[in-house]
Amino acid sequence: MRRLRLLMILPVLALLSACDMVVMAPAGDIAGQQRDLLVISTLLMLFIIVPVMALTVFFAWKYRESNKAAEYEPDWDHSTSLELVIWSAPLLIIICLGALTWAGTHLLDPYRPLDRIKPGQAVAEQVEPLQVNVVALDWKWMFIYPQYGVATVNELAAPVDRPIRFHITSSSVMNSFYIPALAGQIYAMPGMETKLHAVINHPGEYVGFSANYSGDGFSNMRFAFHGLDQAGFDRWIAGVRQGGQPLDRERYLELEKPSEKVPALHFASVEGGLWDAILNMCVEPGKMCMGEMMDIDRKGGLTMASVRNTMPLIYDKYAGRGSNPAYFGSDDSYVMTICTPLQAAAAAAERTRRSELQNAERGPVDRAPLRGMGLVPPGVPMASLSLSAPASAAPNA
């Protein structure tokens, strides 16, 4: 039986060997501080959980039915000493957890620039953080390096011990950018920019992925993250420049379309202003940027007379993944420009003129074939009709 028990444990050990403990053994300082916060909070809570569980077992064993010698006082209802222990211990734990959470929330704010590389080593003043602009696409990740003029898809690299400043957005639906070895997750939302400051302290190959369900290709929305020394990072940038193609707006619009299991792609150059156009949702030629629309709102808005110009717009062009038709024709609808009141009046007059010309070309409409209530039957004089006409004389409806 003993050998059989050991054999039964082996599958459990095999399953545990596949567990990835990267969250508890990260390679980045921010992720390490988050790990410490998790461990300390758990230990503080165990100060209450463990005694409660132990006392539950102790009382159940001591006051079991077969133990006739156990003291039992059914009239006992209060003990000041016991009340102090019961209430003071949880209160102290809550105070400690609150202070720890408050400090961690501010010190580990993803928008807060780093003040240290690792414990005991501050960020040097002359070090420029590596900026990476992240775009969550369906279903892949795009990384733009504005300081180097290159971009990649589903592949990210950063030098060891150099601060990284991520600017994160999404092309369509909300996603969550997460590299467990580097730092905590942060959301990527269309038309918005979130930020994350982090650093990788150990070279290696790590995995990043989306931690927020975003559709069919969510499970394959992963990318490789390379932690490299400075020389290795320089070689990686040189390889991207040599083996890549240019990334312009037309190429981006192709990448923006939903696709799954996309291999790593390199782009040797990036069109100027592409990131701002992605963030402002105006990559398409001629489309008004969200920043311009907000500036119009800041100056007083479009008034109710222009609401119909913006209500039917389709900004989530992949809503329903192609199941929703556009309002104005077969293509997506969006604002290209906003006209002045004089231009709007001129456009309305021009539409009226064109309508009148079309009606004049068509000529008068022959209503003779029409039948129905309220229409004069063919061949019947108007004077012969009256409200007192018999029902049989009424025209067919």
Would you say residue 355 has pLDDT above 60?
yes
> Average of pLDDT values for 22-47?
89
Structure tokens at 374: 């309220």
| Average pLDDT, rounded, for the chain | 80
Mean pLDDT to the nearest integer, 9-36? 75
What pLDDT shows up at residue 362?
A: 61
pLDDT of residue 86: 83
Over the stretch 89-133, which tens digit does the pLDDT of each residue have? 889 999 999 999 899 888 899 999 999 998 988 998 888 999 999
Residue 199 Cα to chain centre, angstroms: 22
Give tens-digit pLDDT for 210-249: 998 888 888 899 999 999 999 999 999 999 999 778 999 9
What local confidence, expressed as pLDDT, does residue 357 receive?
76
Kindly give, in sequence order, each residue whose CB lies less than 8 Å from that of residue 76, ignoring residues fewer than 6 positions away: none
pLDDT confidence band for 385 (50 / 70 / 90): very low
pLDDT at position 380 is 58
Give residue-wise pLDDT tens across range 311-341: 555 555 554 334 445 444 555 556 666 665 6
Q: Within 13 Å, how many C-alpha atoms sit on residue 293's CB side?
A: 15
What mean pLDDT is predicted for residues 281-307? 75
pLDDT of 381 strictly over 70: no
Q: Report the pLDDT value the prediction gives residue 302, as an integer from 0 to 100.
A: 63
Of 178, 174, 202, 209, nearest to 188 (Cα)? 174
The counts of H helices and E strands in the chain are: 9, 14
Q: Which residue in 144, 146, 168, 147 sits closest to 156, CA to CA? A: 144
Structure-token pair, residue 287: 């489309």
208, 225 contact by CB (below 8 A): yes
Structure confidence at residue 397 as a pLDDT band (50, 70, 90): very low
- 210: exposed, middle or buried (C-beta count within 10 Å: 0-12, 13-18, 19+)? buried
Cβ-contact 306, 283 below 8 angstroms: no
User: What is the torsional sign of CA 311, 316, 319, 323?
Assistant: positive
> Which pLDDT value is given to residue 147?
95
Q: Provide the token pair at 211.
A: 């931690």
User: What pLDDT does 4 receive?
Assistant: 62
Asked whether residue 342 carries a pLDDT value surpassing 80, the answer given is no
- Cα angle 293, 294, 299; round to 5: 100
Bridge partners of residue 268, in order along the sequence: none
Q: Which pLDDT does position 126 carry in this prediction?
A: 86
150-153/175-179 β-pairing: unpaired
Q: How confident is the model at residue 199 (pLDDT cuts 50, 70, 90)?
A: very high
- Between residues 365 and 354, which one has the greater pLDDT? 354
Tokens of 367: 């209503």
Which residues sit opposite 169 in a β-bridge? 135
